[in-house]
Amino acid sequence: MTEPNKGKNLKEPTLFLALLPIITMVVLLCLGYVMFELPPEPLIIASTVVAGIIAVKLGHSYNDILNSIAQKIAKTMPAILILITVGFMIGAWMVGGTIPMMIYYGLKIINPQFLLITAFLVTSVVSVCTGTSWGSAGTIGVAFMGVGAGLDANLAAVAGAVVAGAYFGDKLSPLSDTTNIASLSTGVNLYEHIGHLLYTTLPSFIVAGIVYVITGLNTHASGVGVPEKVGTVMDTLGMIYHWNLLLIVPILIVLYGSIRKKPTLPVMLLSSVFAMANALIFQGFSLHDVVSSVLNGFDIAMVHVKGFDPSAVIPDVPKLLNRGGMNSMMGTLLICFSAITFAGTISLTKSLELIVNKILKHVHSTGSLIVATIVTGLTMIGVTSNGQVSILMPGEMLREAYIRRGLHPKNLGRTVEDSAAITEPILPWTAAGAYMAGTLGVATLAYLPWAMLCWTGIIFATIWGFTGFGIAKLTPEQQAEMLKEYDGQDGEDKNQKPTTAAKAAQAN
């Protein structure tokens, strides 16, 4: 690939110019997205314009900017294809009955005395299967809140268990947009990224589960029936779908592919094809209905079963089922493209290297680098209130620093998820915090202590950073290969001096 900037008289950005596009984005997102509820995509594009003006001021051409953006998009295209396939697969699983069967039997095992742990586990399973924390909390979570109200339980604790379970599944699911974005931004294989997440997520899961069991045993809740709404939901699901063991095969295919580290796209497509076959053979849907579901999502209004009136069902059922489809991912893809455009423009001017250098001056160990990543992630999610942006930007800014220290980028992806993605629902001013509070009917700060999985991950990430446990190292060969992206195809750009950020990373 040619070097468009070779031979040009390029200027180095000052710290002010390096920070100006990021400050612009933060201000626009704070004022526009948080205060005035404007869509984030045009705000990010406006920040990209500022970054582009600075790039031109430093001597870069318009074509240089386009080339830099194109290179970023090319590198992230595999993850983008996965996101589209995720929507396809959710639609297929929904019309085939895979997701509804998981929800049906999840509701069936509710035990009043073990409400918290049941809510936590079932929501986790549903979220892993669907890849959506919001969908899990807004459907199965609402059902558990109804159970909690009927049992006169601590609704803050129930809401915390639901949120924790929803984000456990969202964090580890290969269908999750944030999991795919974290994998995308750090350049790590999706399943390798998910496996590395277990080092912090599994301990948090165990701690939360123990607390929920002990709390449930101490409540002595008994003698109260399950709310009628739950039974109605189950009866409705039973009228629409026909249950059998073959409906879980699509899940087994994904799990097998994850364990065996098979290519993501073929595994998801195979799972989707099997789910579509279930829809045609066992559920009795037409080919048109199946194709419509994988494109636009399953719609309960299309269901025509003898004795079943879609317009007469309670609102919870359409809310539970009407989801999925490739089009459902377009919003996530748009914000990804916007953020990638911003990252491509700002990286052209080496602004990120300058900013990273300032961060690295205070980093003298792996533990302090992990802490710096956590602070960066928390700052991004706290200021921007947007999970996708908060994952993409730290991944872009800090990836080279991890590689130069001999640390695998999957450490970065895990820490960014621990600090940015999974803490979003416990911050009242974020979109996720507001959604969870409004949907579950409990204030964010009230359920925060009980959503233990959402904040204990940071604690484990810090401990592992300073002890070295669960910190993946690069072999010299892996490091040299990854550094080609930053130093040129020969591992070192002979026409360019090492960057200041590179020197700082190597020195530390």
Quickly list DSSP for 13-45: PPHHHHHHHHHHHHHHIIIIIIIS---HHHHHH
Q: What's the pLDDT band for 487 if we cut at 50, 70, 90?
A: confident
Q: Summarize pLDDT for 131-180 with one digit per residue, the tens.
A: 778 767 876 787 788 777 766 788 999 999 999 999 998 888 887 878 88
Q: Summarize pLDDT for 18-49 with one digit per residue, the tens.
A: 889 888 988 887 788 767 878 888 988 999 99
Most confident of 71-75, 429-433, 443-447: 443-447
**Among 16-30, 77-91, 148-162, 210-224, whose mean pLDDT is lowest?**
210-224
Q: Summarize pLDDT for 241-300 with one digit per residue, the tens.
A: 999 999 999 988 887 886 777 887 898 899 999 999 999 999 999 999 999 999 998 988
Is residue 494's pLDDT more than 50? no
Judged by DSSP in three states, 428 sits in: coil
The CA-CA-CA angle for residues 12, 16, 17, to 5°, reads: 50
**Among 42-56, 140-154, 180-194, 397-411, whose mean pLDDT is lowest?**
140-154
Q: Summarize pLDDT for 452-474 with one digit per residue, the tens.
A: 999 999 999 999 999 999 999 99
**More confident call, 306 vs 70:** 70
CA dihedral over 456, 459, 462, 466, signed as positive or negative: negative
Q: What is the mean pLDDT of residues 428-451?
A: 84
Q: What's the pLDDT band for 339 if we cut at 50, 70, 90?
A: confident
Token pair 């300032």 is at which residue?
358
Q: Alpha carbon of 244 to those of 17, 75, 184, 276, 434: distances in Å?
A: 61, 41, 36, 15, 38
Angle of helix 98-108 versus helix 249-259 axis, rounded to 10? 100
Distance in angstroms (rounded) separating the CA atoms of residues 271 and 264: 11
Strand partners, 473: 407
One DSSP character per residue, 117-153 reads: HHHHHHHHHHHHHH--HHHHIIIIIHHHHHHHHHTT-
